[in-house]
């Protein structure tokens, strides 16, 4: 098997015989709601949401089990039927023989093309699939049929698109009954499906979505006829890979005006017979579309039935998505630079698809979760910082006054919804991510004023951090926290973050670490609600408290000396070691606060000085650091040392030696390093232990945990997974990348690079990972990358490569340069460069390592901005934001840095 090759620096790649690899799928979508997946043989699905699938929903196993797919048939005179997508019984039968057809896939950002050559039939097909970037809710196929043989070819073409037209729920729930709702009409250009009702979890409702498939040959040559019903197309005893209508004139097509009710709809489009001379070709357009009415659907679809218009739309779509990516890299590893373009693109995909709607992501009903809101903002901050301040501001409206948060995110910015299932679950890590993202925003922008902006709090029946219900709350009260006087309460963004961290500080278990509750970042640690504790995220909350104090000190230095906070928060600002050491008193204090805020708040505010508040937070941060260092550092019988990450539901430490072997988890090590809880020597010990127990080059690097060897129902469902899969011992990209980020932050640069390079080397080797370019959620025990595209690890990898590897980062709005590139990353001319956006200016930073020095041996020397000298110190350089803002916003500006 030969892997893919990149064709340009934009990420366009080519792969031969892609159908010989299982589980491949590719995303094509737009920002107007169309979300498709397409396989090398044009399987996959297309939808606008959980309840509006035009093609039947598929999960990963359906990709090889399902015969229902997009298809384009040619009945070749004297030779029989042939599928341009390879989905015929005959073509499937010779897939692993010498008679297999030659296929080549080319794909780029949001477009997918497969070329297929049949020597037997003398035909070559080329099918390009894409979704226009505009507001048009269409998926398009440009199908070109060419005579690649030695004599003329006569054939009759038929497009074949199975129309599903309903909710994903109906795959198993009333599949046949919901087909009885179908109303199908044939027009002169295609087949329209307009169901009468929808049956799904929302109940029985009038249908509001119309679906259609339309086609044309060349410049608007209309079809001859149509097959609008699935059973009429496949015929008795037939199927989608051996349909009777293609080979039997006894199953006639219908024409404009035909209507039928109550059957599975089908977009079968018969074009007229055609004869191609040698090397002659003809192009067909197939449009799959959504509309709010028959008229709006047809109006949107009709322009695309022109080949010229469709090809123009394809080119515009390619340029649109390519222009979205404004960070590029040039190092001595050009394939890595190009591969990173796909990583850069993945946060865009996740904002469109959420965490659902691709074949491996066969769960949920669309949308993003709380963590996703904040982690996707990380990438936005770096790629498209405009509008991020407003987004962050609105996101804080999802915080509850007890420090927990809404878990269902609406479609509008700042819209949060009460849990439809009334499930009370608190993820203990949720309070940490908003600060991480906001801190990066302030570092990038210098916008300290965001901390003082006021917004509302989320309100629903969940109260006391998920322990109780507010029985006084009614749906008609709305989802905004009120004062006792019935007024909407608003507090500063800083106040929101304080509440998230202070409530967590007191929400401790018996070992005085923050309770695990429903889970932390690792959703599969979900069975230790009563006595579980997350040492790992206690590290992170402690670091956040310290950094929050630093921001408050900066506010003070900039002239804001006093802050207004909700009066009830004064309970959480108690500050003495005796209290901090006493878990029962901490729990009691938290409960008192939560009860005070259970239904409403007073609305009164207290004034506190920035210095007093910063000292308070630093004391709490220092207590966490000292407590975790003292209690959780372990050394096993083989002499390896690291931090324990968790306590289980029996109140027992999870890691260390066990009669079933060594137990070690990566998560706690990441946050111990990142939070500076681990000192220099401890970081070295952690690296040694991780290399010994967690590193496996054959699957891409560092596993999430060792094999615990038991079904550990006192900690989480992850231990029910096969070891080496998902959260149980896979190379889980998100935490592996965060491990690299933590190592880079602590200047363990070769070790951080090893993490990223191991993961990249494995994933970019198609014969091992069997995935398209980019970073998947995890690598399984057989080396296959799984759950591609929709992963928060992409944002963290982008952040790590730009901010840490290239050392390009914000310093309270100024630009800091602190490169951490290894010698092998410089090209043959000893250069490495990155282009990016900062201070709303397009910048190109070029590092020159003329003396071929390794990291640690070089330092920053001469710096020029557009050829003009800029002075800075020898360790790192900070360029004042004002200097950058005075540059022309329409030009690319060069910052050249000599490393000496």
Query: Is 231 within 8 Å of 260 (Cβ atoms)?
Result: no
Cα 223 from Cα 767, distance rounded (Å): 43
Opening angle at CA 48, ends 46 and 54, nearest 5:
45
Show the tokens assigned to 514. 């923050």
For position 409, what pLDDT does the model report? 84
Query: Is 337 within 8 Å of 826 (Cβ atoms)?
Result: no
**Helix H or strand E segment including 108:** strand 102-108
Show the tokens assigned to 727. 């959260």
Q: How confident is the model at residue 425 (pLDDT cuts 50, 70, 90)?
A: confident
Output the pTM of the full model.
0.96
For position 876, what pLDDT does the model report? 74
For position 75, what pLDDT does the model report? 97
Cα 199 from Cα 170, distance rounded (Å): 8
Cα 813 from Cα 443, distance rounded (Å): 6
Q: Is the pLDDT of residue 408 over 90?
A: no
Show the tokens assigned to 50. 């959980």
Q: Is the pLDDT of residue 422 over 90?
A: no
Cα 735 from Cα 540, distance rounded (Å): 14
Distances (CA, A) of 638 to 249, 261, 656, 658, 688: 77, 73, 10, 12, 12
Q: Return mean pLDDT, the chain.
A: 96
Cα 68 from Cα 56, distance rounded (Å): 8
For position 559, what pLDDT does the model report? 97
Q: Is the pLDDT of residue 199 over 90?
A: no
DSSP symbols for 356-383: -SSTT---SSSS--HHHHHHHHHHHHHH
Sign of torsion over alpha carbons 706, 708, 709, 715: negative
Q: Is the pLDDT of residue 819 over 90?
A: yes
Q: Is the pLDDT of residue 420 over 60?
A: no
Helix (H, G, I), strand (E, B) or coil at 279: coil
Helix (H, G, I), strand (E, B) or coil at 178: helix
Helix (H, G, I), strand (E, B) or coil at 526: coil
Cα 722 from Cα 728, distance rounded (Å): 7
Q: pLDDT per residue over 474-531, tens digit each?
A: 999 999 999 999 999 999 999 999 999 999 999 999 999 999 999 999 999 999 999 9
**Helix H or strand E segment including 231:** helix 230-234
DSSP assignment, residue 283? E
Q: How confident is the model at residue 366 (pLDDT cuts 50, 70, 90)?
A: confident
DSSP assignment, residue 721? S
For position 727, what pLDDT does the model report? 97
Q: What number is the average pLDDT over the span 536-561? A: 98
Q: How confident is the model at residue 442 (pLDDT cuts 50, 70, 90)?
A: very high
For position 220, what pLDDT does the model report? 84
Q: What number is the average pLDDT over the span 738-742? A: 98
Q: Is the pLDDT of residue 421 over 60?
A: no
For position 39, what pLDDT does the model report? 98
- Residue written as token pair 């087909």: 179
Q: Which of 379, 402, 189, 198 is nearest to 288 (CA)?
A: 189
Strand 416-417 to strand 408-409: parallel, antiparallel, or no bridges (unpaired)? Answer: antiparallel
For position 423, what pLDDT does the model report? 65
Q: pLDDT per residue over 62-118, tens digit each?
A: 999 999 999 999 999 999 999 999 999 999 999 999 999 999 999 999 999 999 999
- Lowest average pLDDT, out of 16-20, 41-45, 181-185, 377-381, goes to 377-381
Q: With both helix axes pointing from N to C terminus, report the angle between 535-557 and 610-632 in degrees, rounded to the nearest 10.
A: 160
For position 120, what pLDDT does the model report? 96
Distance of CA 380 to the CA centre of its chain: 12
For position 1, what pLDDT does the model report? 62
Q: How confident is the model at residue 546 (pLDDT cuts 50, 70, 90)?
A: very high
- Residue written as token pair 């200016």: 841
Distance of CA 33 to the CA centre of its chain: 16
For position 386, what pLDDT does the model report? 82
């Amino acid at each position: 098997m030969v892997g893919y090759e990149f064709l340009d620096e934009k990420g366009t790649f080519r792969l031969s015989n892609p159908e010989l690899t299982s589980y491949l799928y590719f995303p094509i979508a737009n920002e107007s709601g169309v979300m498709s997946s397409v396989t090398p043989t044009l399987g996959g699905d297309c939808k606008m949401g959980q309840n509006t699938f035009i093609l039947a929903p598929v999960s990963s196993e359906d990709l090889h089990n399902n015969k229902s797919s997009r298809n384009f048939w040619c009945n070749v005179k004297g030779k029989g039927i042939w599928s341009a997508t390879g989905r015929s019984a005959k073509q499937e039968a010779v897939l692993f023989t010498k008679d297999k057809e030659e296929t080549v896939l080319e794909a780029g950002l949001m477009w997918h093309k497969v070329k297929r050559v049949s020597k037997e039939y003398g035909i070559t097909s080329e099918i390009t699939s894409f979704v226009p970037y505009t507001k048009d809710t269409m998926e398009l196929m440009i199908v070109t049929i060419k005579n690649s043989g030695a004599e003329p070819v006569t054939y009759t073409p038929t497009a074949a698109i199975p129309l599903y037209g309903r909710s994903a729920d109906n795959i198993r729930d009333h599949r046949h009954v919901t087909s009885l709702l179908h109303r199908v009409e044939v027009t002169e250009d295609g087949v329209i499906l307009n169901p009468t009702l929808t049956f799904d979890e929302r109940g029985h409702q009038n249908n509001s979505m119309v679906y259609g498939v339309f086609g044309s040959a060349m410049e608007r040559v209309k079809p001859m006829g149509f097959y609008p019903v699935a059973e009429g197309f496949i015929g008795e005893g037939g199927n989608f890979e051996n349909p009777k209508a293609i080979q039997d004139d006894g199953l006639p097509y219908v024409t404009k005006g035909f209507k039928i009710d109550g059957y599975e709809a089908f977009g079968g489009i018969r074009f007229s017979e055609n004869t191609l001379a040698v090397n002659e070709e003809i192009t067909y357009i197939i449009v799959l579309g959504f509309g709010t009415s028959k008229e709006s659907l047809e109006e949107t679809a009709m322009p695309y039935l022109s080949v010229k218009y469709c090809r123009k739309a394809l080119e515009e779509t390619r340029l649109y998505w390519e222009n979205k990516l404004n960070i590029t890299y040039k190092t001595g590893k050009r394939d890595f630079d190009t591969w990173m373009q796909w990583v850069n693109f993945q946060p865009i995909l996740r904002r469109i698809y959420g965490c659902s709607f691709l074949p491996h992501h066969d769960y949920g009903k669309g949308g993003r979760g709380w963590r996703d809101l904040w982690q996707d903002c990380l990438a936005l901050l770096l790629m498209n910082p405009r509008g991020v301040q407003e987004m962050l501001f609105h996101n804080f409206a999802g915080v509850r006054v007890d420090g927990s948060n809404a878990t269902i995110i609406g479609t509008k910015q700042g819209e949060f919804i009460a849990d439809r299932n009334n499930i009370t679950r608190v993820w203990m890590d949720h309070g940490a991510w908003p600060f991480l993202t906001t801190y990066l925003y302030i570092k990038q922008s210098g916008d300290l004023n965001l901390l003082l902006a006021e917004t509302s709090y989320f309100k629903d029946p969940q109260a006391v951090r998920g322990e109780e219900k507010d029985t006084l709350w009614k749906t008609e009260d709305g989802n905004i926290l009120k004062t006792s006087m019935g007024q909407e309460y608003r507090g500063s963004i800083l106040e929101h973050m304080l509440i998230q961290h202070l409530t967590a500080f007191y929400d401790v278990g018996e070992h005085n670490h923050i309770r695990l509750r429903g889970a932390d970042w690792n959703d599969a640690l979900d069975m230790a609600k009563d006595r579980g504790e997350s040492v790992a995220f206690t590290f992170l909350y402690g670091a956040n408290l310290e950094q929050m104090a630093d921001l408050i000190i900066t506010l003070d230095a900039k002239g804001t000396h006093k802050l207004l906070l909700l009066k009830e928060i004064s309970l959480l600002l108690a500050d003495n070691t005796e209290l901090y050491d006493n878990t029962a008193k901490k729990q009691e204090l938290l409960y008192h606060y939560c009860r005070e805020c259970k239904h409403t708040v007073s609305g009164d505010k207290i004034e506190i000085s920035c210095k007093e508040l910063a000292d308070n937070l630093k004391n709490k941060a220092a207590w966490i650091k000292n407590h975790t260092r003292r209690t959780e550092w372990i050394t096993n019988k083989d002499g390896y040392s690291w931090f324990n990450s968790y306590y289980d539901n029996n109140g027992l430490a999870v890691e260390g030696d066990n009669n079933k072997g060594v137990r070690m988890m990566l998560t706690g090590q990441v946050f111990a390093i990142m939070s500076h809880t681990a000192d220099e020597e401890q970081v070295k010990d952690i690296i040694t232990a991780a290399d010994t127990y967690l590193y496996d080059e054959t699957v891409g690097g560092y596993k999430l945990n060792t094999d615990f060897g038991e079904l550990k129902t006192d900690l989480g469902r992850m231990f029910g997974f096969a070891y080496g899969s998902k959260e149980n011992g896979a190379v889980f990209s998100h935490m592996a990348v965060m491990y690299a980020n933590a190592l880079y932050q602590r200047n363990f640069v070769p070790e951080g690079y090893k993490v990223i390079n191991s993961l990249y080397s494995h994933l970019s080797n198609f014969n091992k990972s069997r995935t398209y370019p980019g970073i998947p959620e995890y690598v399984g025990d057989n080396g296959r990358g799984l759950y591609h595209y929709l992963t928060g690890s992409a944002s963290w990898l982008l952040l790590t490569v730009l901010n840490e590897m290239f050392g390009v980062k914000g310093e309270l709005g100024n630009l800091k340069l602190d490169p951490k590139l290894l010698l092998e990353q410089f090209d043959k001319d000893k250069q490495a460069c990155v282009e990016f956006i900062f201070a709303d200016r397009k910048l190109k930073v070029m590092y020159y390592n003329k003396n071929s020095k390794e990291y640690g041996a070089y330092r920053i020397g001469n710096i020029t901005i557009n050829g003009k000298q800029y002075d800075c110190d020898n360790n790192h350089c900070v360029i004042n934001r004002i200097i950058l803002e005075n540059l022309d916003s329409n030009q690319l500006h060069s910052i050249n840095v000599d490393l000496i």
